[in-house]
């Protein structure tokens, strides 16, 4: 994994500095994480929501590929490192108080979701079923069959 | 604020049900919140990241306008309720494990950010300043002047 030792963030200053200043001073929450939204740079589709810690964000900047911090596994997660289906970073945006990121990516393999779809957001709220809020699938087909891909492990 | 008493979510079942089942069964975290990404339905721009609790999500569905839960103020936040610059909901998407939402909206007034920009993500990571990661502003001008809007209060 690429080196990121030279990367330094700014100090978190006052509101004016955070909102209008020239330095990137990301806010990590009490668990040391910042929300990162991966968005397809070409289609604008939101692909997934994940989290980065200080190290994974620096590695993402240094590598030019998305490196997250997996909350379930409690370790760095260089997405697609094994399969080759990495997310090549085109741009990183931060919001007004610098506690969230939008990562514009090229999703190699065209599927960001482990379920096999292009985006994790493959369902929308649509009507009710037996009085409960229902979902409909908006992607017409999966990009890959997860049983074939993950079943081999 | 509109009524949402009839809205019921599904029970959180197993992985297969959550990923492929027909019911909306959102997962609220230990603080009772779910991450909600507001995206402009026309431009695809990610406008902001906020949070909803059970009540605000139900009200959003019932009202057709985004109602968040403000973490700083610890109360419901019907965005734009006073100014009229509400977010009209076009669609609500959820992700594979149903712990995040994408809300496609029409942003009335064309500015989602209190700083005055269309999007809260008005800056991108770009080079360094004095050895620290720098930001450049990507929106050419503010939609409104916050001093004029908020200064009146």
CB contact under 8 A, A35 and B39: no
Chain B partners within 8 Å of A39 (Cβ): 46
Which CATH number does the domain housing residue A140 bear?
3.10.20.810
Q: What is the pLDDT of residues A103-113, one digit of tens each?
A: 999 999 999 99
Q: How many domains does chain B have?
A: 1
- Indicate whether B34 belongs to any domain: yes
Supply the pLDDT for residue B3: 75
Tell me if A135 and B102 make a contact (CB, 8 A cut-off). no
3-state secondary structure of A133: strand
Q: Indicate whether A95 belongs to any domain.
A: yes
B116: nearest CA in chain A?
A: A96
pLDDT at B4 over 90: no
* Joined tokens for residue B130: 């004095």
Is B108 near chain A, with CB under 8 Å?
Answer: no
> Residue A118 has what pLDDT?
97
Q: Residues B24-60: pLDDT tens digits?
A: 999 999 999 999 999 999 999 999 999 999 999 999 9
Instruction: Note whether residue A12 is domain-resident.
Output: no
**Does the residue A69 lie in any domain?**
yes
Q: Is residue B135 part of a domain?
A: no
Query: In A, which residues are within 8 Å of B114 by CB distance?
Result: 96
Q: Tell me what ipTM this predicted complex has.
A: 0.94
- Mean pLDDT to the nearest integer, B8-21: 95
Contact call for residues B68 and B61 (beta carbons, < 8 A): no
Question: What confidence tens digit (pLDDT) does each residue in B72-129 have?
Answer: 999 999 999 888 899 999 999 999 999 999 999 999 999 999 999 999 999 999 999 9
pLDDT confidence band for A151 (50 / 70 / 90) = confident
Give the pLDDT confidence score for residue A66 in this predicted structure: 98
Does residue B46 come out as left (phi exceeding 0), alpha (psi in the -120 to 50 range) or beta? Answer: beta
A37 touches chain B (CB under 8 A): yes
Asked whether residue A118 is domain-assigned, the answer is: yes
Between A61, A125, A129, which is nearest B133 by CB?
A: A61
- List the single residue in A with minimal CA-CA distance to B114: A96
Contacts of B25 (CB under 8 A, 6+ apart): B9, B10, B11, B12, B13, B17, B18, B98
Dihedral sign computed on CA atoms, order A117, B93, A97, B51: negative
Strand stretches in chain B, DSSP E: 34-40, 46-52, 67-70, 75-78, 87-94, 100-107, 123-129, 132-137
The alpha carbon of residue B102 is apart from the nearest alpha carbon of chain A, in Å, by 7
Identify the pLDDT of residue A137. Answer: 97
User: Rounded to a whole number, what is the distance in Å from the CA of A87 to chain B's nearest CA?
Assistant: 17
Chain A residues lying within 8 Å of B144, measured CB to CB: none
What confidence category does residue A150 fall into, taking pLDDT thresholds of 50, 70 and 90?
confident
Burial class (CB in 10 A: 0-12, 13-18, 19+), A44: middle
| pLDDT over 70 percentage in chain A | 97
pLDDT value, residue B2: 67
Structural domain boundaries enclosing A64: 34-150
Domain membership of residue A24 (yes or no) is: no
Q: B34-40 and A123-129 as β-strands: parallel, antiparallel, unpaired? A: unpaired
User: What confidence score (pLDDT) does residue A2 get?
Assistant: 67
Averaged pLDDT, A121-143: 96
**In this predicted model, what pLDDT tens digit does every residue of A27-72 receive, in sequence order?**
999 999 999 999 999 999 999 999 999 999 999 999 999 999 999 9
**Minimal CA separation from B24 to chain A, in Å:** 5
In a domain, A129, yes or no: yes
Residues of B in contact with A22 (CB under 8 A): 129, 134-135
Q: Which DSSP helix (H) or strand (E) runs through A132?
A: strand A132-137
Does residue A8 have a pLDDT over 90? yes
Judged against a pLDDT cut of 70, whether residue A92 lies above it is answered with yes
How far is the alpha carbon of B78 from chain A, nearest alpha carbon, in Å? 19
Average pLDDT score over residue span A79-102: 95
Q: Provide the 10 A C-beta neighbour count for residue A127.
A: 8
Residues of B in contact with A129 (CB under 8 A): 22-23
């Amino acid at each position: 994994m690429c080196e990121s030792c030279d990367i330094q963030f700014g100090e978190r200053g006052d509101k004016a500095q955070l909102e209008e200043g020239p330095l990137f001073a990301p806010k990590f929450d009490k668990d040391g994480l910042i929300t990162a939204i991966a968005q397809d740079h070409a289609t604008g589709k939101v692909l997934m929501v994940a989290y980065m810690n200080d190290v994974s964000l620096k590695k993402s900047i240094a590598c030019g590929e998305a490196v997250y911090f997996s909350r379930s596994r409690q370790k760095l997660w260089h997405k697609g490192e094994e399969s080759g289906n990495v997310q090549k970073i085109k741009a990183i945006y931060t919001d007004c108080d610098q506690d969230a990121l939008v990562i514009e990516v090229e999703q190699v393999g065209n599927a960001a979701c482990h379920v096999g779809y292009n985006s994790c957001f493959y369902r929308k709220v649509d009507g009710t079923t037996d009085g409960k809020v229902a979902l409909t699938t908006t992607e017409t087909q999966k990009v890959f069959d997860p049983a074939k891909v993950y079943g081999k492990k």
